[in-house]
Amino acid sequence: MNAVSRSVPRGLAARLALPAGALAAVAGAFAYVGAVDPNEPGHYPACPLLRLTGLYCPGCGGLRSAHAVAHGDLPAALQANAPAVLGYAAFAVLWTVWVTRAARGKPLRIDPGPVLLWSLGALVLVFTVVRNLPFGGWLHP
């Protein structure tokens, strides 16, 4: 048996190790944000864009959103940062697909294509602009 064949994982546990590690990291992050409330000042650094310009970036409210998700408060999570909640849901779907494919011994291939990537970028840009306009106050975190 050569060194290459010994390093190739073959069992189900080996195939699921990477998705399990990713889930553990995300669960740990959510557990930390769920325990340390971002609504209380001093626990997390302020957004540099908000601090320097007074403008909300697309990620502003993401920690508050994660905190609300960790506590099962979906309306508060959506109010804090709706795109972040969609990102959490997208991660859950992609992780489930990843685990299913890994369990079957198939690689995960994600090829979103330029149309989808440009569309997502445009939606994030529109969200960012609207949340910083006077009539977009309902999108403030």
What are the pLDDT digits (tens) for 103-120?
998 988 889 999 999 999
Burial 20-52 (b: 16+ CB within 10 A, else e): eeebeeeeeeeeebbeeebeeeeeeeebeeeee
Q: Average pLDDT of 12-24? A: 92
Q: How many residues does the chain have?
A: 141
pLDDT of residue 138: 84
Among 63, 57, 14, 19, residue whose Cα is nearest residue 37: 63
Evaluate whether 59 touches 81 at the Cβ level (below 8 Å): yes
Q: Write out pLDDT tens, residues 40-92.
A: 888 898 889 999 999 999 999 999 999 999 999 999 999 999 999 999 999 99
